[in-house]
Amino acid sequence: MGTVERRRWRGASALTLLCATALLAVSAMTGVAQAAPMPEPGAKSLEQVRQEIDELYRQAGTATDAYNLAESEAKAQSAKIVEIAKQVVAGQDRITALKNRAGAAARAQYRSGGMPAGAQLALSNSPSQFLDGADRIRQGEKATTDLLSEMNRTQSDLQQYAKDATAQWEKLEANRIKQETSKKQIEEKIKSAESMESKLQAEEKARLIQLEQEALYKAQTAWLSTGVLKEINSSASESGKKALQYATAQMGRPYVWGAQGPDSFDCSGLTSQAWRAAGKGIPRTSQEQLRLLPKVAIKDMRPGDLIIYFDDASHVGMYVGDGAMIHAPRPGRNVTLAGAGSMPIKAVVRPDA
């Protein structure tokens, strides 16, 4: 067995041992977790409860992505509205300056008596002086024409700015409604999940945590059994190392939906802030990270890459190497290490490709 293979075998074994130790620790904490009361006939099993709670939190994660995306778009639209407002002010100032110039030209013409060119020639003592004056008149007429054209263009720009501002306000309002809808969905899903958990006895809650760990462990073991770690052997980039340093420093901080730190995070808040700390701005949500960042094959992923989970791309974690990833799991949980294959992988993306 080569050096790299031994290191990866040790890493995979360590992660497997970590998962198994977590399961044993949960059992040891209660001592009676395995002896939880039998459910009444017709009642849901604890495993069914776990699956329902897990699904509620996953749906809350999907709604959180929608909320975060709407929030990001609303910020962008607000910035555009501010920029349009600046353009409108500049355009209005320009119109005022053009009107002043037009007024000055009109006053100059008034002082000259507004005499037609033929009359000025008849009254002029010097034909050459008249011709010079006629040339200046033509220049003045052209300047007046240019002035009117510029005023028309500026007026047209102001009308377009008004249309753009209206469109941005409409988008802003649509995103505000989208945010409120998503927020309501998030709160409802989390409240339902917490309500289900609150009805459990202490030993049932402990057993629930154990079932959760068992499900993750089972999925991770199945993923590792494919031999995937034999193919994954890339090293982190310098930016990836910085992103990992930030992410791992947040371990133990709580999950809070919509949070981007510094004291709490949701899943994509953690990954986006980690890469921001590495000097690379990436999309705020897991769905946008999937849509806009370059994809890489699982066998080619390296530490720092982002793993997008579930068909709806509602969760994201950061690969740390040796078959593990770091993520902010869900409400009620903290930023932690987990198996990279402990949830269904949809894709892997690379922020610094």
Residue positions annotated with a catalytic role: 267, 315, 327
CA-nearest of 185, 197, 180 to 332 is 197
Q: Quick one: 323 exposed, middle or buried, by C-beta within 10 A (0-12, 13-18, 19+)? A: buried
Are residues 318 and 326 in contact, defined by beta-carbon separation less than 8 angstroms? yes
Is the Cα dihedral 51, 53, 54, 55 positive or negative?
Answer: positive
Question: Which amino acid is it at 327?
Answer: H
Q: Count CB-CB contacts under 10 A for residue 351.
A: 26
Three-state SS at 274: helix
* 59 Cβ contact list (under 8 Å, min separation 6): 185, 189
The span from the CA of 126 to the CA of 321, in Å, is: 94
Are residues 184 and 66 in contact, defined by beta-carbon separation less than 8 angstroms? no
The span from the CA of 112 to the CA of 56, in Å, is: 84
Are residues 23 and 210 in contact, defined by beta-carbon separation less than 8 angstroms? yes
Give the 3-state DSSP-derived string for 218-239, with helices as H, strands as E and coil as C. HHHHHHHCCCHHHCCCCCCCHH
Question: What b-and-e string marks burial along 152-184, b requiring 16 or more CB atoms within 10 Å of the CB?
Answer: eebeebbeebeebbeebeebbeebeebbeebbe
Prior bond of 262 cis (ω within 30°):
yes
Q: What is each CA distance from 297 to 110, 151, 232, 323, in whole angstroms?
A: 78, 57, 10, 15
